[in-house]
Structure 1
């Protein structure tokens, strides 16, 4: 399968949190690149179209916008 992404994604398994308007939802970062990431969540319901992603071990939150959603995963692009 060809990967037509702007930046190659790297598989990871890191804890993260989705933060928005005072709310926090835990997630797992499954893959990441310079331009975006794939997040695993219990459910995508209630997650807004844009939010801050905080990855364990990283000192800088990344602002994200949702590119796609399915039952347990969300694809995001970094702003």
Structure 2
């Protein structure tokens, strides 16, 4: 497999939430970098092209977009 990431990701295991259209959906953040993250979702969720990822314990909020999906795991890219 060819590594396409421009920055190294660090493993984490934190509760988070994705927010769009006034709804929050719980997720588990599995790894993060300066440019993105990978999250696990509990079930099948149709995601919009843009939403916010928040991690309350870190007071972290970033706008992001999905870039790949594999079953329950979704790769996110942070956007400005």
Match of 1:67 in 2: 67
Match of 2:19 in 1: 19
User: What RMSD over aligned residues (CA atoms) do the two structures have, in Å?
Assistant: 1.5
* Cα distance in 2 for residues equivalent to 1:44 and 1:17: 15
Indicate if the aligned counterparts of 1:10 and 1:32 stay in contact, CA closer than 8 A.
yes
For normalisation by structure 1, the TM-score amounts to 0.89
Residue-by-residue CA offset, 1:23-46 (whole Å, 9 max, x unaligned)? 110000000000000000013422
Structure 1 portions without partners, runs of 5+: none
Q: How many residues align?
A: 79
Match of 1:29 in 2: 29
Moved more, 31-40 or 43-52: 43-52
* Cα distance in 1 for residues equivalent to 2:60 and 2:69: 24
Match of 1:47 in 2: 47
* Cα distance in 1 for residues equivalent to 2:44 and 2:10: 22
Structure 2 portions without partners, runs of 5+: none
For normalisation by structure 2, the TM-score amounts to 0.88
